[in-house]
Amino acid sequence: MRLFAIRLKMLLKSRANVFWTFIYPLLLGLFFYMGFGNLSSRSSFATVHVSVASDMADPVLLEAFTSAEYDDGKKVFQVHAKLSREELEAVLQEERITGYVYREGGEITYRIRTNGIGESIIKSFLDEFIQMEHLFQELGQLDPDVRAGMLADLMKDNRYLQEINTATNPDYNNFVIYFYALIAMTCMFGSFWGVSLVGDLQADNSYRALRTAIAPESKLKLLTIYFLAALALHFSGNLLLIFYLKYILDVEFSQNLLLIILASFVGCVAGIAMGTFLAGIIRAPERKKEGIMVVVSLFSSALSGLMMVKVKYWAETYFPPLRFINPAGLVTDSFFSLYYFSDLSRYIRDLLTLSVLSILLVFGTYLKMRGEKYDSV
């Protein structure tokens, strides 16, 4: 505990640390915000290709999709129907459609492939639709045909579109996903903490580390304490960012804030773990390791689709295991799944994978450092 406190003080005393952890993400958040303020005022979107699973053949939903229009009379959705689930999945993977919808056990469910404006429209549309449907059910047993017509009419209001494209009403701002991306990237910057904590434990890195290395203190204990201290700071930096986005910039995260915070916490753990592991196995001066971390965190973030969503899918198509070993990918995926799916199973799976990965990475670092003797110090 004392070691933890003193370690915190060491870290806090470093101006560079404080800047990168607390100030830099806030600045980025501000830039993002200013950038997207303009972007999100665009009013018209391209037609989205949606498919409806044939086994569903829900006339009400089909009607609603088909008749949805933008203000300028352009169709919102181009509906392809009469395909089996397997075929739909195939065309989705080929990116010929944006997403597809089916009914499973009475619940309307949808599949999308990436994230973007089209996907957001599908989501908003269905949210709205389901809400309407419930409303009608409560209103009583109307003739299904009448109901379908009324539903479709009501959906024509385009409320779901307004929610997406109205910058003045940030409540349902589509660009929130870019803020998720920002949080995820900030998590990855935790790798720098990994470098500094390993640097203070490996005797060949600095004289003070040498002094720590000759003390009768187990590497596992020190590694754990240093890790927790780094995590405490890194996570509080992330918390600050989240609260700043939410309460100062008024970015409205429509999801449960606690779940977002939880994902960011696990993301912080993963970021530091990745940095710890890489710094532990790479033999290089600290500056060089930091350089490597810049490249790795940006590269892994890029692979996770932060800058261009498609990259993630290309990468994972060519190298499937990436889905499980790229921490940045898992963090973004957990955020996106939080955004797109009300069902938490994918989110939970992502976080569990991340946790396991982090533990493996840190333990691997320990195995490497345990009883380590150096070629030169």
* Chain residues in the site for another protein (CB under 8 A): 2-3, 6, 9-11, 13-14, 203, 206-208, 210-218, 370-377
CB of 207 to another protein, least distance (A): 3
Phi/psi at 372 (5° precision): -70, 135
Q: Which is nearer to another protein, 287 or 373 (CB)?
A: 373
Q: Which is nearer to another protein, 299 or 374 (CB)?
A: 374
CB of 37 to another protein, least distance (A): 40
Q: Which is nearer to another protein, 218 or 317 (CB)?
A: 218
| CA–CA separation, 125 and 163 (whole Å) | 10
* Sheet with 107-112, side-by-side order of all strands: 77-83, 48-53, 99-104, 107-112
Neighbours of 236 (CB within 10 A): 13
CB of 366 to another protein, least distance (A): 13
Burial group, residue 130, by CB count within 10 angstroms (0-12, 13-18, 19+): middle
Instruction: Say if residues 185 and 328 touch (Cβ distance below 8 Å).
Output: yes
Q: Which is nearer to another protein, 42 or 211 (CB)?
A: 211
Q: Which is nearer to another protein, 3 or 325 (CB)?
A: 3
Take residue 4 and report the two structure tokens written for it: 């933890």
CB of 186 to another protein, least distance (A): 23
CB of 235 to another protein, least distance (A): 20
CB under 8 Å to 173, separation ≥6 — which residues?
36, 40, 164, 167, 251, 252
CB of 281 to another protein, least distance (A): 17
Residue type, 208: R
Instruction: Give CB contacts under 8 A, 24+ apart, made by 350-357.
Output: 350/263, 351/262, 351/263, 351/266, 353/324, 354/266, 354/267, 354/269, 354/270, 354/327, 354/330, 355/266, 355/269, 355/270, 357/270, 357/273, 357/324, 357/325, 357/327, 357/330
Beta strands 77-83 and 99-104 are unpaired
Phi/psi at 48 (5° precision): -100, 135
CB of 293 to another protein, least distance (A): 21
Take residue 125 and report the two structure tokens written for it: 């549309």
Q: Which is nearer to another protein, 11 or 79 (CB)?
A: 11
CB of 15 to another protein, least distance (A): 10
Take residue 159 and report the two structure tokens written for it: 């409320």
Q: Which is nearer to another protein, 99 or 237 (CB)?
A: 237
In Å, what is the CA distance from 348 to each residue of 77, 239, 259?
A: 31, 20, 10
CB of 190 to another protein, least distance (A): 20
User: What sections of 286-344 are H helices per DSSP?
Assistant: 286-303, 309-318, 322-325, 327-340
The gap between the terminal CA atoms of the chain, to the nearest Å, is 29
CB of 9 to another protein, least distance (A): 7
Q: Which is nearer to another protein, 10 or 167 (CB)?
A: 10
List residues bridging with 75 in a β-sheet: 69
Q: Which is nearer to another protein, 45 or 366 (CB)?
A: 366
Q: Which is nearer to another protein, 196 or 304 (CB)?
A: 196
